[in-house]
């Protein structure tokens, strides 16, 4: 009697090697994505503060003085990070930590001064 050996498919060792490679690549991606997230949040905070400054200039043109609170500006942006708040007054606009944390490289508070 002749036996035919079925050679289709993958061995357990081959499957484990592929799973290991995928795990290593996923680990590299997850470590690197945190830096991209911080950079994106930092850019968003800076852009939001610039928008608040522009709204302050519009407010100044309309009322003759700068707004003393962020609520006076109307459509002021909100922070992309939980625990980071925006504030403004007659001299500066700031992003401050309130239980959260600013991205790396941004001091608490991070302010734009007029």
What is the pLDDT averaged over residues 99-114?
Answer: 80
Is pTM beyond 0.75? Reply is: no
Please report how many Cα atoms fall inside a 13 Å half-sphere around the Cα of residue 32, on the Cβ side.
6
What is the pLDDT averaged over residues 23-33?
Answer: 86
Residues β-bridged to residue 112: 93
Q: Tokens for 20?
A: 């290991």
Interval 40-80: pLDDT, tens: 888 888 899 999 999 999 999 999 999 988 888 887 788 77
- Which is higher by pLDDT, 79 or 5? 79
62-68 long-range CB contacts below 8 Å, 24 or more apart? 65/90, 66/90, 66/91, 66/114
């Amino acid at each position: 009697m002749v036996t035919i050996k079925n050679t289709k498919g993958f061995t357990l060792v081959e499957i484990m090697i592929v799973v290991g490679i995928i795990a290593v690549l996923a680990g590299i991606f997850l470590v690197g994505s945190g830096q991209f997230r911080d950079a994106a949040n930092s850019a968003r905070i800076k852009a939001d503060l610039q928008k608040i400054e522009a709204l302050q200039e519009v407010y100044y043109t309309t009322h003759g003085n700068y707004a003393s609170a962020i609520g006076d500006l109307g459509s002021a942006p909100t922070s992309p990070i939980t625990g980071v708040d925006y504030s403004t007054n007659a001299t500066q606009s700031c992003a401050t930590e309130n239980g959260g944390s600013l991205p790396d490289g941004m001091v608490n508070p991070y302010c734009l001064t007029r």
